[in-house]
Chains A and B, each alone.
Chain A
Amino acid sequence: MTNGTDARDGVRLVYHRFSAFHRFNHYLVMVSFFGLVMTGLPLKFKTSHWSQVAMDALGGVATAGFLHRVFAVVNITYFILEGGYMLYYVAARKGPIFHEDSIVPGKKDWVDMKGMFRWFLGKGPKPPLSRFTYWEKFDYWALFAGTVLIGGSGLMMWFPEATTRILPGVALNVALVLHSNEAFLATGVIFIFVHFFSAHGRPESFPADQVIFSGYIPVEHYIHERPAEYQNRLKAGTLDQVVRPAPSAAKRRLFGWVTAIVTVFAFCVAAYTLLLILWPLFFS
């Protein structure tokens, strides 16, 4: 973990990438997502022997359903917080919107993607990446869109009577299909294959990128990881906004422990998910 390296190398400066608000939101996403997957998947894959085991362990279908709704509330909370932050960001002009260092997809993402594919094939250098890479933007916006779809259909099914006062009952059929399929997509693809691997599974961060838990990375790693943002900030003279002295050793130890615990938990959830999904594929 980067933490250990800091201590040994005596790093004094760090790049502050995520504010406490964003880290808190990531915790909410994590908790709600893990909770929703663990309580929801057994119902979708009910043919699996493990679904019955999981349901019994959760305390039955009724308890799992209750917990699913609790985590749904957490989900809605982060969605409102993030949505509110977006509006505030735009209204208060907290930073650039259509810029290569903003979260909005732009031309540079396309250029970067082409560059990355050339790099994969050994036909060119790795393109200098910005504050948010194209795969990070994909992660972010896919989650955002997914939350709207899954959350919306979930609420429809949570309150079926209210829904069918406005819409015909077949809307609930649509909601059910949408919820189930989109949630499976989010589970299997975004989190297990894309997010877990591309954000946390890269060799320099494996098994977890501590930056989302601590908020900072050593400035040397920053320059290596986000050369374009570094150059932009260097030119604009805004480096001092993001580069700060390293936190105390005690704080660094704390972040290290938090990351370790979260990582172990995430691996357990991933194993649980894969077991429930893959088991019926091979042994049903």
Chain B
Amino acid sequence: MTKRRIEAAGKGGEMSLEERGGGGWASRIAVRPTRTIVALMACALVALFAWGAPASAADVEGCLICHSDPDFTNPTPADGEPTSLYVDSKKFAASVHAELPCSSCHKGFVNTIPAHQQDPTKDYKEVAIEACETCHPDAFAAYQTSSHAKLFYQDQAAPICISCHGSHEIRKVRLGAESADFKMSMARDSCGRCHKDKFEKASHELHFKALSLGYERAATCFDCHGFHDNLSLKSGEEQTVEQCRQCHPGATAGFTYFQMHLDPGFENAFWGVRAVYLFFSTLLIVVLVTGIAYTTVHLQKETRTILGVAGRGVGRLFGFIRALEEETVRTHEEDDDKAHQRPPDATAGPDDEHTDRGGVA
């Protein structure tokens, strides 16, 4: 499932690459320059007036004049749906890279229209990871050791930097002091986009519960699995112990046998965990139902007895309020007579009963 998703994403990307740099494009423009110019003018108009696009401070190359239009797609897709070429200029302006010119990441792209890429044979994914590597060599080195990278060099469908981090909307984060919201959103929107089942299971787990309630020290995916090396952690292994020790300094090998990513019904858990869960769930329902039923019956009986009234039919169990109203009316009619018969007489515990029972019968 996960793999298919990534493949689909990869396919979409490749398609856009073809369109962007494809020879068909260039030749068509050479033939019909007037139409292209009109189209571009229309783009500029839309961008400037209809959308009032706030060009980024760093948009010295003017890319956002066209690319901030949400409807800006590749005009001539070779196959299938047109690919969006839209960049949300507001999100980009708020991103950590807002001050950088577009070409600092889009390497080998120049301001020619319509084909920007100088070397059209270069895959966009290669461009993307090269772009990140330039400024983030350490993260890139760590990524190189990861299973994501190993997979990527095999079939190109595996995640690269932008698969998790996004591209134009990468937020400002203080490393080591991430907010709980950020950690949660990374888990949900980055890791959880492909590892959906793992995320859903983890979200029932104590670390994530605390995190979702705002405890920023609670671990999210990357706290255990690493930022870029995405470690595969197995119980009992030295590496796992190391990872646990970041927060639990006294952790030993035994500690790592704590089971993570369990489902809410504990079906994938150690049988003892599931047994305890099932036992207490059953106990809870049994005691709750019995407790409520018993207490209701007991209380209404005590109440009727102390008020000296009796219900009828189902009212014997639940209808004491109506019976109480009737009793009040009767008491008024019979003057004070009844009231004198029933003071809360200390010695009359069991005897009291027969009055009550008489009422019922």
**Is B353 in the interface zone, CB < 8 Å from A?**
yes
Give chain B nearest CB distance to A30 CB in angstroms. Answer: 20
For the complex, give the distance between the alpha carbons of A174 and B280 in Å.
11
Contact in complex: B258, A173 (CB < 8 Å): yes
Nearest A residue (CB) for B354? A125
Contact in complex: A161, B272 (CB < 8 Å): no
Chain A: interface secondary structure?
A: helix
Give chain A nearest CB distance to B260 CB in angstroms. Answer: 9
Chain B: interface secondary structure?
A: helix
> What residues of A have a CB within 8 angstroms of the CB of B281 in the complex?
181
For the complex, give the distance between the alpha carbons of A177 and B270 in Å.
12
Give chain A nearest CB distance to B210 CB in angstroms. Answer: 5
Contact in complex: B295, A62 (CB < 8 Å): no
Contact in complex: B213, A170 (CB < 8 Å): no
Contact in complex: A164, B215 (CB < 8 Å): no
Give chain A nearest CB distance to B284 CB in angstroms. Answer: 5
- The B296-337 residues at the A interface (CB cut-off 8 A) are 297-299, 301-303, 305-307, 316
For the complex, give the distance between the alpha carbons of A126 and B301 in Å.
10
Contact in complex: A188, B299 (CB < 8 Å): no
Q: Which among A56, A167, A223 has the greatest number of chain B C-beta atoms within 10 A? A: A223
Give chain A nearest CB distance to B235 CB in angstroms. Answer: 7
**Is B259 in the interface zone, CB < 8 Å from A?**
yes
Picked from B212, B255, B270, B350, the residue with its CB within 8 Å of the CB of A164 is B255
Contact in complex: A182, B270 (CB < 8 Å): no
**Is A20 in the interface zone, CB < 8 Å from B?**
no
- The B146-178 residues at the A interface (CB cut-off 8 A) are none
Give chain B nearest CB distance to A210 CB in angstroms. Answer: 16
Contact in complex: A193, B273 (CB < 8 Å): no
Contact in complex: B361, A122 (CB < 8 Å): yes
Give chain A nearest CB distance to B9 CB in angstroms. Answer: 30
Contact in complex: B350, A165 (CB < 8 Å): no
Contact in complex: B350, A170 (CB < 8 Å): no
Picked from A46, A128, A160, the residue with its CB within 8 Å of the CB of B209 is A46
Contact in complex: A128, B350 (CB < 8 Å): yes
**Is A185 in the interface zone, CB < 8 Å from B?**
yes
Contact in complex: B276, A177 (CB < 8 Å): yes
Q: Given A46-B209, A173-B259, A185-B283, are A201 and B254 neighbors across the interface (CB < 8 Å)? A: no
For the complex, give the distance between the alpha carbons of A185 and B209 in Å.
20
Picked from B259, B283, B348, B351, the residue with its CB within 8 Å of the CB of A169 is B259
- The B198-215 residues at the A interface (CB cut-off 8 A) are 206, 209-210, 212-215
Picked from B256, B269, B280, B288, the residue with its CB within 8 Å of the CB of A173 is B269
Nearest B residue (CB) for A197? B295
Residue-wise interface mask of B (220-234) relative to A, using a CB-CB cutoff of 8 A (1 in contact, 0 not) = 000000000000000
For the complex, give the distance between the alpha carbons of A41 and B288 in Å.
18
For the complex, give the distance between the alpha carbons of A185 and B277 in Å.
12
> What residues of A have a CB within 8 angstroms of the CB of B33 in the complex?
none
**Is A60 in the interface zone, CB < 8 Å from B?**
yes
Q: Given A173-B262, A223-B346, are A55 and B214 neighbors across the interface (CB < 8 Å)? A: yes
Picked from A56, A61, A120, A181, the residue with its CB within 8 Å of the CB of B210 is A61
Contact in complex: B291, A189 (CB < 8 Å): yes
> What residues of A have a CB within 8 angstroms of the CB of B210 in the complex?
43, 61
For the complex, give the distance between the alpha carbons of A43 and B217 in Å.
15
Nearest A residue (CB) for B307? A203
Nearest B residue (CB) for A47? B212
Nearest B residue (CB) for A193? B291
Contact in complex: B354, A62 (CB < 8 Å): no
Nearest A residue (CB) for B217? A62
Q: State the 8 A-B residue pairs at the shortest beta-carbon distance, nearest first.
A: A161-B250, A169-B257, A61-B215, A169-B258, A181-B280, A220-B346, A125-B353, A164-B254
- A to B CB contacts below 8 Å, 9 in the list: A51-B213, A128-B349, A164-B257, A173-B269, A181-B276, A181-B280, A185-B283, A194-B291, A224-B345
> Which residues of B approach A to under 8 Å, CB–CB?
206, 209-210, 212-215, 217-218, 235, 248-252, 254-259, 262, 266, 269-270, 272-273, 276-277, 280-281, 283-284, 287-288, 291-292, 295, 297-299, 301-303, 305-307, 316, 344-354, 356-357, 360-361
List 16 extra interface pairs beyond A120-B297, A128-B350, A177-B280, CB under 8 A. A62-B217, A116-B298, A122-B361, A160-B248, A161-B251, A164-B257, A165-B252, A168-B257, A169-B235, A169-B257, A185-B280, A189-B291, A193-B292, A203-B306, A204-B306, A224-B344
